[in-house]
Amino acid sequence: MKLKRIIIHELIKEAGKTEASFKPSTSLLTVNDGLESMIQEVHESFEKLINSYHKFKPHSERKSVFINAHKYSNGDETDNRFYNWSKTSMRELEGEIKSVPFATGGYYVFSDYEINGLRFLSIVIVRNREAFNIKWDPATEMYNVDSTENINIDQMAMGFRMNLNLYKGAVSRNYIAIINKKGDGASQYFKDWVCVDEGTGPKQNTNNFIDIIKKIGLPENFEGDEDVFFKHVYDSIEAEYKGNNGLVNVDRISELFYKDRGRIRKYAEEEYGQELDSEFKIHTDSLKKLIRFKAAVKGLSISLDISLFQNDTVVLQDNSVIIRNQSIYDQLSKQRNEGN
């Protein structure tokens, strides 16, 4: 972990009120071991709390969060640019939040750090100063952290984290992670402020999830074959989304089958090359790809993914089964010829 820059500002606003004010720190904090340790804890907690992944919205050139982060990550990596990123973004939020009556203020921790070879820009919101031991120093006119011991990381209300490696790599992956407390009605104003797009839709999330499950394969010591396992996963997801407004929690599924809440999402990022939202709405037609159909008669057995019917690789027609697949044809043709 290497913490490069950090600053804390306060936004003052009460729920139900339309008045808001911004109390800025006048300079960046001096990085020390305690602050590095705190941001490492924030990073690790962030990993567990991520709700969704995004990119910046198109046409965000006038939004302070975007334009300053873009300039900072593209050659203007200075204390002044970082400070402007934090201060002008907070000024912008001060004006926008007045029209959101249910939104409340808090302490906004901006940081730039590197961990495990990855570089991040981060904004996390803390609702009360005691959670992070935040203190105002009137002599320097800035917020500081009195002590990094006993910090309550769980008190993060919302957060933004931008993966600069992905952003500058010009790849198609989502490079922004967002956290917000479930049921927090204020979360939309936060997403608008950091100008993120709608993220990954239900169909793509579901397809990615199924692909990842199939690539990870059977859990250790699972009693049964892949068909049995995929049916268990399907039944578990179906039961969950029917009782959870169509949503499935990936970490819960990961814990249920792999005894590790982070296994599926970690595999998605590191092996599959796509971020997977921790909770998303299921696309029910896509979920059926976990189902396999089986049929057997003497001398013949077939096991088929439902997707083969959906893409017309397999067709039931005139009391016949038609398989349109060159590889299957070549394999059977070769074996028949060798048998002769």
DSSP at 266? H
CA 212 to chain CA centroid, Å, is 15
Q: How far apart are the first and last CA of the chain?
A: 65
The pLDDT, as a whole number, for residue 8 is 96
The chain-wide mean pLDDT, for the chain, equals: 90
> Kind of pairing, strands 2-12 and 106-115?
antiparallel
With beta carbons less than 8 A apart as the criterion, state whether 214 and 234 touch. no
For the stretch 58-68, pLDDT in tens is 989 899 999 99
CB 196 within 8 A of CB 275: no
Most confident of 37-41, 84-88, 197-201, 239-243: 84-88
Per-residue pLDDT band at 18 (split at 50, 70, 90): confident
Phi-psi region of 59 (alpha: psi -120 to 50; beta: other; left: phi over 0): left
The pLDDT > 70 percentage for the chain reads 95
Percent pLDDT > 90 in the chain is 62
Whole-angstrom distance, CA of residue 233 vs CA of residue 253: 8
